[in-house]
Amino acid sequence: MASGILIATAVVGVVGLFIGLFLGAAGIKFRVEVDEREEAVLGVLPGNNCGGCGYAGCSGLAAAIAKGEAPVNACPVGGEAVGKKVAAIMGVEAGEGRRMVAFVACQGTCEKASVDYEYTGIEDCRMLSFVPNGGAKTCDYGCLGFGSCVKACPFDAIHIRDGVAVVDKEACKACGKCVAVCPKHLISLIPYDAKYAVACSSRDKGPVTMKACSAGCIGCMLCKKNCPAEAVTVDNFHAVIDQEKCTGCGACAEKCPKKVIVQNPSGN
């Protein structure tokens, strides 16, 4: 009886030792070499895994940076500070990065925007493409106000106010999730220090726009004609400001009869 127990114990011990040696050898043979710089870069990234950099989380970005496939300042959440740390690890210059924030090009609040009917269905902007006219608002380009962007934002930087999404630019990290989820394509990333932006996305003719919303761009061209820097263009009844050319003089906003061009865009 005792000898049987000893034999069983010895067998288990030998088998365990064999498995340990086998796993150890396999680990050495099939070990994937990890670039030390990749681990160091991952250590300074914020860890939000928001995907705003275009990669599947911070580990994906760290691997891409280590391989030279992504710039050292590719993390929109970490911004310039993290970019400099990553650059130091990689032994390169960080380069100048311009902070970006999300901006909602719509001012069609409940008071300003006309509606065609009362909607009582699922409160998800993405679902409204299946309802008549793509939503209750008369304007086909206006914010639907059901907060798909709010749900997508991992930083609590966007909220619905009076039927329109509004961005808190101090909280925004420019991850781009709200941009991707908006079915009306109203949200874009603009420079944090932008002085003016066009808060409308309508491309309807003036009379149609005015019927749908009292705060819509009518394509009157006054902004373009009065911009000394030639930073404003009007295409398809829709004004656009080139932020690289804009000097922030405010002439376009002053001349806009519908007050569609707003100062301090994305502000609170």
pLDDT digits (tens, 9 = 90+) for 152-208: 999 999 999 999 999 999 999 999 999 999 999 999 999 999 999 999 999 999 999
DSSP code, position 121: S
- Give the three-state DSSP class for 191: strand
Distance between CA atoms of 24 and 39, rounded to whole angstroms?
23
**Bridge partner residues of 167 (DSSP):** 158
**Mean pLDDT of the chain, nearest integer:** 88
Query: CB burial class (10 A; 0-12, 13-18, 19+) of residue 134?
Result: middle
* Residue-level pLDDT at 2: 56
Q: Where in the chain is the domain with CATH 3.30.70.20?
A: 100-263
Whether the per-residue pLDDT at 98 is higher than 90: the answer is no
Q: Which CATH architecture has domain 36-90?
A: Orthogonal Bundle (1.10)
pLDDT band at 10 (very low <50, low <70, confident <90, very high): low
* Residue-level pLDDT at 54: 79
Give one word for 141, left, alpha or beta, with left for phi > 0 and alpha for psi -120 to 50.
alpha
Whether the per-residue pLDDT at 72 is higher than 80: the answer is yes
Q: Where in the chain is the domain with CATH 1.10.15.40?
A: 36-90
pLDDT band at 268 (very low <50, low <70, confident <90, very high): very low
Higher-confidence residue of 115 and 6: namely 115
pLDDT in tens, 12-71: 666 667 676 666 665 555 555 567 888 999 999 988 888 888 788 899 899 988 888 888
- What are the distances in angstroms from CA 43 to CA 55, 101, 149? 16, 25, 29
Select the CATH number that applies to the domain covering 100-263 from these four: 3.40.50.620, 3.30.70.20, 1.10.1660.10, 3.40.630.30: 3.30.70.20
Residues 218-229: what's their mean pLDDT?
Answer: 96
* Residue-level pLDDT at 121: 86
